[in-house]
Structure 1
Amino acid sequence: MTVQTMNVNAVVDQAKFKPFHMKLVFWCLFIVLFDGYDLAINGVVLPLLMKEWGMSAVQAGMLASTALAGMMFGAMSFGMLADKIGRKKVILICVSLFSLFTFLGGFASNPTEFGMLRFVAGLGIGGVLPNLVALTSEYAPQRLRSTLVTTMFSGYAMGGIMAALCGSWFTADYGWQIMFYIAVIPLLFVPLFWKFLPESLIYLVKVNKQDQARYFLQKVEPASQVSADTQLVLSSTDQASTASVKALFSEKRTAGTLLFWLAFFMCLLMLYALGSWLPKLMMAAGYSLGSSLMFLLALNIGAVIGTISGGVLADRFDFKPVLISMLTVGILSLVGLGFNSPQPVIYLLVSLAGASSIGCSILLYSYVAQYYPVAVRSTGIGWASAVGRTGAIVGPIVIGLLLGMELPHKWNFIAVAIPGIIGAIAIFFIQVKKKEAEPAADRKALNSVLTAD
């Protein structure tokens, strides 16, 4: 009796959109919402912390970078760990870390305590992002992959909106601490995440947990007719790849890996410089704190629109022209913010800057997820994100230095736009190999299995 085999990559690629996909995107989006919230509270509380603890702009910038430093180490370590022990376990560990230690940040009484708690929270924030991207990308049908990943990731910008609204509603009455107390909510949902989030299908096949893999594959595509005797296999590139940093530089991926790292560095520098300092930058331009928080809201509303529309455009066209176009719009918007304009125009420019900076950074995650084989996807995303985090660390510090120099405010925005130019150049030179031959073979093998008696 011959054993039937089924290529799980081919089944997932050709699957139709099902309730399973919707639930997966929903739960991942919920986690990303609070992940984005945890990061966006920096922009809300920094002006308040500077006043309460008597910090300079440079010191506040250093303090904002503590969570970003934690994110760098979290992205590196948890991305690789997930390729070894499974994405679901790592996601739950990271959610617990960032939710608990952000909550504890509300009890900090001085900058040192605050910085230490934010660093540990950053480990979870940085570690969860690559794994949510990889898990969503892994289960998404090929024709909707970018759309689903960016829709899930739009929760990141929604978290920024939530932070801006909570900051304008609550901080005047309850102090900056309330922003951190709210962050405990995801910790209460960990049992539900455990119940409803699926484990990585690729991981289950690699560790030969065939029964669990068959269960999830049946959820993805009920028409696949998976039986108890069906042996699930991976595409040859995913089966052969190992979850190591060395794999990121093998099979002619060195140039692409380095260019992705440069693009991530520049885009995240631009993103976190804006996210951490936009209210303070607008205050330097003459606006009140309340008005400045509304600019933070506009930034993240633009980010939601840019993220989702960017994913749809990337599925219809290609990542490269979409990303370069978004960065071009962002660069022009940031330069425009340096000049005096009517307030509605300023809101529009801030929204466009958010759509491009945050939207582009999120779309990069989806781009790099499709660049690497599934088996090293979390490692690839994790290291690209980790290198990018060095840019995220530098961004708030650089803007803090510029604010300390009290230059004309237009130079602050021009400084934020320069990394966008470098990022666009890096993206232009990225070459992604088209994977046509293997999927064709996979489709042929899949069809033979589905039509077998």
Structure 2
Amino acid sequence: MRTIVAQDVVSASKFNRFHLLVFLWCFYAIGFDGFDIAMYGVGLPWMMEEWNLSALQAGAVGSYSLFGMMVGALVLAPVADKFGRKNVIIICMFLFSAFTLAAGLSPNITMFTIMRFIAAIGMGGLMPNCISLMTEYSPKKQRALLVGAIYIGYALGGILASLIGMYLVPQTDWRVLYYIGAIPLLTIPFFIKQFPESLSYYLARQQVGKVVEILNKVKPDGNFSEKDDYQLHTALKDGKGFPVKKLFTNKRAFTTIAFWIAIFCTMMMAYGLNTWLPKIMQSSGFSLTSSLSFNIMLCVGQIAGTLIGGYLAGKIGYRKVLVSLYLMGVVTFIALSITTNVALVYFLIFLGGASTVGAMNLGNPYITEFYPREIRATGMGYAQAIGRIGSILAPTLIAMLLVTGIDPKMAFATFAVPSILAVLGYLLVQEKYGSFDKVVEENGMNEEFIEGENKRIIQS
């Protein structure tokens, strides 16, 4: 009888159609997540005009939505580690698509805010579960790039929202953004049929047949069968206990707090920019169409930061890349507050995208992989939930800054402070207590791994 460590088989696997299927569904789901988040800022100028909203009122509505995302991350991430990540993603897709449609149909700002809040609960639970499953099903050698690349969907969703705002909304209505955001509702049946559940979920429930089915897709020449030993007793033991408590055991508490600080600061910057960038640029003298083009440049920067950073993270490690991106952000945001050259402003906005959402996209798989597999959704979910506090505060804080009458571009300088704090957060991470799996040797029939301090051999 062979002894099989299922997750390590995935780590040693070569990218194939199964990995591509997981990637494309995560890319799609996070793409609409990015679209849903960006469309509020894109449609905001027209919404403010139609409902006669002040800057403070608009900022408050944005913050309520982000509070819903925090609730979703806090509640749905631990639930996923217990009851299945695929199941929770289905719930999340339904919530954010159905209630996004309802928000677009709302007759007033009160109803809009309620519908947007419920949709945001789904958005808050979606991301940590997609990240966890993509991390779990990615080959180790391509993991940094693959997990980072699903966030290209996030940026493309933002670009799509901006293009619709530039060319379709002026001809129709801002509500068209919310109608398009309901498309995932139609694709849920296909997702249910095609997307796999977490291996750790099946192992903890002793569903060997499901594990064998997945492993034979992951590694078609592995010839896995139900007669193999999948160490179910270990999976059952690891699955017991309250997931949140485990974030602070085995010397993980200090790093957990460090992650929370970094994500809090990152989301302050990311959501502050997403919500207010078009309005800040419009107030600085640019036309509304030009202001939305800056939003597109921000998204392009997010894609470049994610792809280049993901490649470099696979070579030199996540932390060095993350620290470099945030330091670049400090310089970028200070420069944005004082420059007047239009071409330079576009370039700096590009760098701003790379050093905020681009950095966040790399930080998420770094955080996820730090934790043991059985609590990865919880670890990512709670980091996201704490980060949502920053995202909640940012739109209102920037609104308060803008109503003082200062030069709108000076708001950019305030982003330098959270950039510095994010650097400190990642520098304080104690990697030696993480559960990163590293391929040590791969030679024909033997594949050797180290996970944390435990060495294991898989005979395949």
Q: Which band: TM-score by shorter chain?
A: over 0.9
CA 1:409–1:163: 2 relative to 1, 3 Å:
same
Distance 2:264 2:233 in 1: 31
By percentage of residues, which structure has more helix?
Answer: 1
Equivalent residues in 2 for 1:315-326, closer than 5 Å: 315-326=314-325
3-state SS of paired residue (1:446): strand
For residue 392 of structure 1, what is the aligned residue in structure 2?
A: 391
Query: Displacement of 1:321 after TM fit?
Result: 1.1
1:328/1:204 Cα in 2 relative to 1: closer, same or farther (>3 Å)? same
Change in 2 beyond 3 A, CA 1:235/1:298: farther
Deviations 1:408-451 (A, max 9, x none): 2342111122111111111111111265699348875312xx2x
Is the deviation greater in 16-25 or in 388-397?
Answer: 16-25
Q: Is the counterpart of residue 343 in structure 1 residue 342 in structure 2?
A: yes
Question: Is 1:145 equivalent to 2:149 in the alignment?
Answer: no
**SS state of the match for residue 439, structure 1?**
strand
* Counterpart amino acid of residue 285 in structure 1: S
Q: Please give the alpha-carbon distance, in whole angstroms, between the structure 2 residues aligned to 1:334 and 1:237.
A: 46
1:363, distance to aligned residue in structure 2 (A):
1.1
Q: Residue 72 in 1 paired to residue 70 in 2?
A: yes
- Report the equivalent of 1:358: 357
1:19 corresponding residue in structure 2: 17
Residues 275, 33 of structure 1: alpha-carbon distance in 2 compared, 3 angstrom cutoff: same
Indicate the residue corresponding to 2:157 in structure 1.
Answer: 159
Partner of 1:314 in structure 2?
313
Equivalent-residue separation in structure 1 for 2:250 and 2:301 (angstroms) = 38
- State how far apart, in whole Å, the 1-side matches of 2:153 and 2:324 are: 22
Amino acid at match of 2:457: A
Q: Match of 1:249, SS?
A: coil
Hey, what's the Cα distance between the residues in 2 that align with 1:326 and 1:235? 42
Stretches of structure 1 that go unaligned for 5 or more consecutive residues are none
Aligned partner of residue 5 in structure 1, secondary structure? coil
> Could you tell me whether the CA contact under 8 Å between 2:77 and 2:129 is conserved in 1?
yes
Q: Pick closer, same or farther for the CA change 1:167–1:234 going to 2, 3 Å.
A: farther
Cα deviation, residue 269, structure 1: 0.5
Aligned 1:274-293 pairs, distance under 5 A: 274-293=273-292
**Which whole-Å CA distance do the structure 1 matches of 2:116 and 2:277 have between them?**
20
1:135-180 CA distances to partner (integer Å, 9 max, x unpaired)? 0000111111111101112211111111101111111111111110
SS at match of 2:182: helix
Per-residue CA distance 1:246-305 (angstroms, 9 max, x = gap)? 100000001000010111100000000000000011112111111100000110011111
What SS does structure 2 have at the residue aligned with 1:167?
Answer: helix
Residue 204 of structure 1 pairs with residue 196 of structure 2: no
Identity of aligned residues (%): 38
Report the RMSD for the aligned CA atoms in angstroms: 1.8
> Does structure 1 conserve the Cα–Cα contact (< 8 Å) formed by 2:74 and 2:382?
yes
1:56-205 equivalent positions in 2, closer than 5 A: 56-205=54-203
Residues 59, 399 of structure 2: 8 Å contact kept:
yes
Aligned partner of 1:427 in structure 2 is 426
CA distance in 1, matches of 2:280, 2:237: 49
* Aligned equivalent of 2:445: none
Structure 2 counterpart SS, 1:405: coil
Give the Cα separation in 1 of the matches to 2:341 and 2:431: 43
Shift, 1:355, TM fit = 1.2
Distance 1:300 1:332 in 2: 19
Equivalent AA in structure 2 for residue 320 of structure 1:
R
Q: Does the 8 Å contact 1:10/1:443 carry over to 2?
A: no
| TM-score of the superposed pair, with normalisation by structure 1 | 0.95
Q: What is the deviation of 1:364?
A: 1.2
Aligned-pair CA distance for 1:407: 0.9
- The gaps in structure 2 that reach 5 residues or longer are 441-447
State yes or no: 1:446 paired with 2:458.
yes
1:40 and 2:38 are equivalent in the alignment: yes
